[in-house]
Amino acid sequence: MSKHPDKKLRNQNSRTALTPALMEDGSVDYSSVTWKFPQYLATIFATFGAMAAGTTLAWTSPALPILKASAKAGDDIFGLDLTAAESSWVGSILTLGACLGALPAGPIADQIGRKRLLTATSLPFLFSWLLVAVAPNVHFLYSARFLAGLATGTVSVVVPIYVGEIAERSIRGTLGSFFQLMLTLGILLSYAVGAFSASYGTLTVSSATVSALFLLGAIWMPESPQYLLAWGRREEAVRSLLWLRGVDNPIAVERELASMEHDLTASAKEALDRGGSGTVGVLRELVTSPVTRKAALVTLGLMVFQQLSGVNAVIFYTESIFALADARLSAASSAAVLGAVGVVVTALAAVLVERVGRRFLLCLSSLAGAISLCALGAFFHLQRLADEQGVVQGLSWLPLVSLAAFAVAFSLGLGPLPWVMMGELFPASVKGVAGALAAAVNWMLAFVVTKNFTGLTSSLGTDGTFWGFSIVCALAVLFVAFFVPETKGKSEHEIHEAMQGARTRWRSRTNEPIKIVSPI
């Protein structure tokens, strides 16, 4: 008897239903029989929030030069002649808002649901663009950026948790990488509009359109089945999982729901053992439990290295960096090229992450980032030493190549994978609070780097600043090599067993149900 007989495919009510194969021992083969398109669709709906965040992150790069140019031209509507200090606050106050927005996001999502919170979060995004459009002074810009930051921080916590809960194990890493992919798409949109239209109004409208798409996507996406089970809404969890798996087999769905219920029961027991499920209890578990302590170490470490690599300084001030470099290609066009590179490579990383693993991509990303930033620092060092720029006249290509290489390196690992692993490493009992803490640390460091980038370049020089970022990336290689576990293709139980130090072959047991199928 063939081990994998042909599967019959038929359409039922706009769903794909697959008939599973029978194994030689009479058991059902659950591999490769679910229709994964609904999971991709729900992930895209949720990560429109990441795209909205990307437009807000990159907005300052094209917008600040446009505002200054309009002010010089005497435009009273879209012209604001901001000082260096005001420009710095416009760029960095978003990350401060993101830090404050991230802190309560996990507990709130645990109370009202992932879908409801993401739907509500789209409104601050939209209102912030209204403030940007009518801003008569810099204080309106501060308010708009802070409001957008609150929404960005919320999205950065809730979206990775949501995607991790709806995804099958076989595509969990790929779907988790969508957060960074959509973020880079938002960045590219801002860069491209700034390069090809140079219109403040067009830039604002295009960004607001992305926020509107996020609102529509959040309305249409299903709620997380794991959240619904946690609140005793089992019938809704069944409907959600049927939709996400693209099958029409309640029996098969029951098997996955039973596995989720087992994990939730174990989490509830852990909460009782530590004396409660509140924030204080979670923080106590983060310190006392070996699994959660290592998960926190790895996650926070990755977040620290992600931000201290200087990525947000590069995003916020891309055009300014290219202007300093005096490259032949215009600063706006160079920024658009950089954004396009980031999108392409992040998409490549989403494909590779389930093939080569998280650790390899993180090490490669950090090493390549160190080399590219070192080269950029060398360019600015030569430029500083040059009396009449003769020394660097033949190297005007180097800033674009170096920053493009950094975009490639960052997008391969340091960009998407800390968010992926945040959703994988923490047990369900602490995921909401721990994820919020990790995201808050991430955005606080982003605020520190972006707010002080101008000061760093003044005190250390542009060359010394980028060499410092390069050293951070080099240290990240060592951190990943010694502390970060591989999670590719692992169940939650296997990941936590490995972090406890138990020996494991990192594979599923033959009798473990890992997929959902349609009726036999």
Indicate which CATH number applies to the domain containing 318. Answer: 1.20.1250.20
What residues of the chain score a pLDDT lower than 50? Answer: 1-32, 502-520
Q: Is residue 231 included in any domain, yes or no?
A: no
pLDDT digits (tens, 9 = 90+) for 475-518: 999 999 998 888 887 767 777 777 776 443 333 333 333 333 32
β-pairing verdict for 15-18 and 21-22: unpaired
Q: Is residue 242 part of a domain?
A: no
Q: Using DSSP, state whether 222 is helix, strand or coil.
A: coil
246 in a domain, yes or no? no
* DSSP string for residues in 179-196: HHHHHHHHHHHHHHHHHH
Do 474 and 188 meet the contact criterion of CB atoms below 8 Å apart? no
On the CB side of 319, CA atoms within 13 Å amount to: 23
Residues 6+ apart with CB under 8 A from 73: 79
CB 218 within 8 A of CB 109: no
pLDDT score for 367? 95
CB 372 within 8 A of CB 490: no
> Is position 264 within any domain?
no
Parallel, antiparallel, or unpaired for β 28-29 and 21-22?
antiparallel
Question: What pLDDT sits at residue 238?
Answer: 87
Closest by alpha carbon to 349, among 181, 480, 110? 181
d(CA 228, CA 509): 27
**How far does Cα 403 stand from its chain's mean position?**
20
518 domain residue, yes or no: no
Residue 6 gets the label, from left (phi > 0), alpha (psi -120 to 50) or beta, of beta
Count CB neighbours of 347 within 10 A. Answer: 17
The string over 132-146, giving b where at least 16 C-beta atoms fall within 10 Å of a residue's C-beta and e elsewhere, is: bbebeebeebbbbbb
The strand pairing partners of 445, in sequence order, are none
Interaxial angle between packed helices 492-499 and 417-425, expressed in degrees from 0 to 180 and rounded to the nearest 10: 90
pTM of the model: 0.76
Compute the distance between CA of residue 147 and CA of residue 150 in angstroms, rounded to an integer. Answer: 5
Q: Do 319 and 65 contact (CB within 8 A), yes or no? A: yes
Distance of CA 201 to the CA centre of its chain: 28
What is the spatial distance between Cα 439 and Cα 101, in angstroms, rounded to a whole number? 9
DSSP, res 413: I
| Any domain includes 235 | no
Structure tokens at 508: 């599923």
Note the pLDDT of residue 321: 67
The helix or strand, by DSSP H or E, that contains position 257, with its residue range, turns out to be helix 250-273
Torsion (CA) 146, 107, 476, 315 in degrees, nearest 10: -20
Domain total in the chain:
1
Q: What is the pLDDT of residue 74?
A: 62
Residue 9: its pLDDT value, please? 33
Extract the runs of DSSP E, i.e. beta strands, from 47-95: none
Go through 236-274 and write b for each residue having 16 or more CB atoms within 10 A of its CB, e for each that does not: bbbbbbbbbbbbbbeebbebbbebbbebbebbeebbeeb
Write b or e for each residue in 425-435: b if 16 or more Cβ atoms lie within 10 A of its Cβ, otherwise e: bbbbbbbbbbb
**CA atoms of 109 and 87, how far apart (whole Å):** 33
Within a domain: residue 70?
yes
Instruction: Please report whether residue 113 resides in a domain.
Output: yes
- C-alpha of 55 from chain center: 14
What pLDDT sits at residue 328? 59
Structural domain boundaries, residue 471:
37-225+276-499
How confident is the model at residue 19, as a pLDDT? Answer: 44
CA distance 310 to 288: 33
List phi, psi (to 5°) of 445.
Answer: -65, -35
> Is residue 69 packed enough to be buried (19+ CB in 10 Å), middle (13-18) or exposed (0-12)?
middle
